[in-house]
A and B are shown apart, each in its own frame.
Chain A
């Protein structure tokens, strides 16, 4: 047992230390936040960035759009619109193998979403597309594109490919 007299002493030094460390840490963080922004990157340094690094720095919506397009969760149709995989595709995939008689009939103009690949990565992308903030944004932009194409500046068609352009 520590000496009782020591335990009975007010935690003055400890409190002062705690206050000093807390104030110091907060001051340091605020000083960084309040510091003027660094000047923009010089062109010559930007040019040195490798393509891999550029990909790694892409925004989440651009990344999700490209990945979902490659995975077949976004499909351009013959009319130039983009179809989005339905929200219940995971259940449809399971039902196709477990209860095919309980699949609802599809309409003629709907793509056959069950013909694409389905694995953990596609499942993760599907979840992101339907149940994340960036997925909601991507779907909203696709709705706008379907109404306004080809004037819609955010998604454009280049060389037969759909290209996502970040908004500034």
Chain B
């Protein structure tokens, strides 16, 4: 089960995402579905069918869990290979 507590260790592909804050103004407000993930980037499919690649460490994301809860996550926590995120340690701020 994807819950707000284990979302940063869980699978991001398939979730809805929105970017609310970034050091680069052009990508603020992008909305869509995550379709791929690498160490430093995620690939988002927009509602009109185009795709865009977004760097993780410059943005703050709003992920939507399958139950409908919205979780805010700083992208700097997510920087690591997708299979290594399961064992990542993180202290709550």
**Same complex:** no
- Which residues in A have some Cβ–Cβ distance to B below 8 Å? none
- Which residues in B have some Cβ–Cβ distance to A below 8 Å? none
